[in-house]
Amino acid sequence: MRRIPRLALTIFTAILAVESNARAVDILPADRPIPEVVDFYLDAKLSQEGVKPAAATEDTGLIRRLTLDLIGRIPTEAEMRAYLESTSPEKPLELIDRLMASPAYVQHQANELDAMMMAGTRGSLRDYLNRALKEDRPWDQIFREIILADESQPGLKGAGNYLKPRAKDLDRLTSDVSSTFFGVDVSCAKCHDHPRVVDWKQDHYYGMKSFFARTYEAGTFLGENDYGSVKFQTTDGEERQARLMFLTGRIVDTPAVKEPSKEEQKEEKRRLAEAKKKKEPPPAPKFSARAQLVDVALRPGERDFFANAIVNRLWYRFFGTGLVMPLDQMHSANPPSHPELLSWLARDLVEHRYDLRRLIRGLVLSRAYARTSLWQDGEAPDPRLFGVAAVRPLTPLQLATSMWVATTDPSALPASLTPGKLEAELDDRARGLASALAKPGEDYQIGVSEALLMSNGDRIQELLADRKERLVARLAQIDDGDERVAIAVRNILSRPPADDEASLLGDFLAQRSDRQVEGIRQLVWVLLTSAEFRFNH
């Protein structure tokens, strides 16, 4: 990676101070590597604020962070040892490429996108997303397939699961699509123009709702009529018929369609009931309002919402704070912390055909991503400066899978066990445990149910069992107390123990020599339920 000359950094810092709202024409050239651009803009803002960023995290911290973020679990003891023993100057890059080339990467990214899109529903897009990501389908294609929900082709099976749980509630569907794919919560404009954000009017809300007004459930399929409109009442009492209108204000003209008569509607219901009985999809409309939404959202001049939203959500996932917060409040009254960086990343994503894999690789290769989460110089800087790594709670599936890895005998997880095979073996067991854990939000606090589960839950007791291929059984076979402690800490916390930890934990086990297995179980439980294990840091 090329270093930015100090003079250039100083000059750009001055530019930032004068032109904080620079447009796309002012951002760095498109040929710069993503990691270089990330570090350039973040370093410029830190310099402007007079903040010296935290140092790089240690190797043990980096491999744990990357493994959790890219394949959804902590590294095995063998993986950690191999990384620490490597003398390659390119070993972070080699690790990233190895993880991203594995089936485990596809599985984890599918899990993450599924959680993002299906929050608040009982449905799942996971099977569809696994196929789509395995084929490296670009984000705009995934968006198109989900919104059009045409499951007539085998490769698109399950794509309709996003719309189906929401199809009976058009208000929720409108709000969720706007928030998830465009980073905008327009629900406040349902009853009146937004009181504090001039961008959002009732016309925007009902214009977005109109794209879905013709959608209906048809058995296991989704159908769409050629007719149907949305009417609403303004705060002045005026009744209006909404037009198809995107968030930018772009209006989509619709062909004039005569509403069917009662007899025609009756005949249509009969045909639909017959198709439903035969498990056949309803006929496609001559004019699809949902297809118009996809087309306008991806059109040059209109696609900033779409590109900015996914860039911001991925940035939030890997850095703990979005460039825009909250994630669904991307509007003129809530500017990004680094507007030029967001513009550059969004432009780069579009120019590289919405390649999420490329974007993710670029983000985790940056120096900013690799900073330590330890801040030792007084009060930590504003999180929106990204001068120190964020401490992020693990998702339920990350935590559950990592707990299985941490409590498995390390000799059962050799270095030859490639990423992908392990995750496939653990998937069912980890999902059972994950179902008992709450998904963390922006202001995460451990709830009572998780605390009780960790204290005496049957699933936790299963992890601490003294049987073959469990960590407790392996430690019980070791006579050397120091070795026991070292293996336990490495396996669970992904690092060697500090001297004071080794002494304290060794004394703990020595005092329980008359009940050795129970003492080992308690040691493993303490490490497993620690804050250090619970978070990505």
103 near 110, Cβ under 8 Å? no
How high is the pLDDT of residue 419?
65
How high is the pLDDT of residue 237?
84
CATH 1.10.3130 fits 393-536, yes or no: yes
DSSP, res 187: G
140 near 306, Cβ under 8 Å? yes
| Beta bridge partner(s), residue 461 | none
DSSP, res 57: P
pLDDT (tens, 9 = 90+) of the chain, 537 residues, equals 333 343 343 333 333 333 333 343 468 999 999 999 999 999 999 999 999 999 999 999 999 999 999 999 999 999 999 999 999 999 999 999 999 999 999 999 999 999 999 998 999 999 999 999 999 999 999 999 999 999 888 889 999 999 999 999 999 999 999 999 999 999 888 888 876 677 889 999 999 999 999 998 887 888 898 888 899 988 888 899 999 999 999 999 988 877 777 887 777 778 777 777 777 788 888 999 999 999 999 999 999 999 999 999 999 999 999 999 999 999 988 999 999 999 999 999 999 999 999 999 999 999 999 999 999 888 999 999 999 999 999 999 999 999 999 999 999 888 777 667 777 777 777 888 888 887 877 677 777 888 888 888 888 999 999 999 999 999 999 999 999 999 999 999 999 999 999 999 999 999 999 999 999 999 999 999 999 999 999
**Locus of tokens 């498990």:** 279
pTM of the model: 0.91
What whole-number distance in Å separates Cα of residue 227 and Cα of residue 207?
15
224 near 215, Cβ under 8 Å? yes
How high is the pLDDT of residue 229?
87
Assign 487 to helix, strand or coil. Answer: helix
What are the C-alpha distances in Å from 200 to residues 173, 176, 191, 240, 419?
18, 16, 11, 17, 46
CB contact set of 446 (below 8 Å; sequence gap of 6+)? 534
User: How open is the CA angle 325-327-333, to the nearest 5 degrees?
Assistant: 55
Q: Pairing between strand 535-536 and 215-218?
A: unpaired
What whole-number distance in Å separates Cα of residue 190 and Cα of residue 192?
6
What whole-number distance in Å separates Cα of residue 251 and Cα of residue 299?
13
How high is the pLDDT of residue 69?
98
| Beta bridge partner(s), residue 392 | 536
41 near 337, Cβ under 8 Å? no
Residue 4's Cβ-count burial label (10 Å; 0-12, 13-18, 19+) is middle
How high is the pLDDT of residue 408?
95
How high is the pLDDT of residue 12?
38
Q: How many helices (H) and strands (E) does the chain have?
A: 24, 8
Domain boundaries of the chain, sorted by first residue? 167-297, 393-536
How high is the pLDDT of residue 442?
67
98: amino acid identity, one letter:
R
How many residues in the chain?
537
